[in-house]
């Protein structure tokens, strides 16, 4: 079972699954990587997670944006404090794709931003699962 994380400065989208990802909502970003790590590790234990998949915006990787630095620090803390393996999955367009999907369902994405973040986490995990099954 994997926990998928769509990291944002305000909210964190979450999904779990091993073959068929499902959203489990969002949590507010407390602004502290350690506090966020603590919250996520509680979620990992509650869902019997074996690994973590974090969306990584590849377009921001070369310049090491603040978001990329936060994601890398969070991944390092999760691995060190839990022993769980953290995988990165490219996520440059998952939020855009999630927003389009929700709009097509008639969801007002300006009012339902958390749904966009949750769906982005689902899409990240779907991509990860598909890429792993294609390799095997």
Please determine, for residue 39, whether its predicted confidence score (pLDDT) is greater than 70.
Answer: yes
Please determine, for residue 28, whether its predicted confidence score (pLDDT) is greater than 60.
Answer: yes
The pair phi, psi for residue 50, each rounded to 5°, is -100, -20
Please determine, for residue 21, whether its predicted confidence score (pLDDT) is greater than 80.
Answer: yes
pLDDT at 60: 54
In the chain the domains, ranked by start, together with CATH numbers, are 2-135 (3.30.420.140)
pLDDT at 72: 94
- Alpha carbons within 13 A on the beta-carbon side of 37: 19
The pair phi, psi for residue 87, each rounded to 5°, is -110, 150
Residues 60-118: pLDDT tens digits? Answer: 556 677 888 999 999 999 999 999 999 999 876 666 676 677 567 776 666 667 678 89
Find the helix or strand (DSSP H, E) in which 72 lies: helix 66-82
Please determine, for residue 131, whether its predicted confidence score (pLDDT) is greater than 70.
Answer: yes
pLDDT at 102: 59
């Amino acid at each position: 079972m994997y926990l998928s994380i769509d990291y944002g400065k305000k909210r964190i989208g979450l999904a779990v699954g091993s073959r068929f990802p499902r959203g489990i909502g969002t949590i507010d970003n407390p602004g502290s990587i350690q506090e966020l790590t603590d919250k996520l590790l509680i979620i990992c234990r509650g869902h019997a997670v074996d690994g973590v998949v974090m969306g990584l915006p590849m377009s921001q990787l070369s310049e090491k944006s603040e978001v990329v630095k936060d994601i890398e620090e969070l991944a390092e803390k999760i691995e060190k404090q839990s022993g769980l393996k953290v995988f990165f999955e490219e996520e440059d367009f998952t939020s855009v794709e999630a927003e389009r999907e929700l709009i097509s369902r008639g969801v007002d994405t300006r009012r339902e931003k958390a749904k966009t973040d949750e769906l982005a986490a689902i899409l990240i995990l779907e991509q990860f699962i598909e890429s792993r099954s294609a390799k095997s």
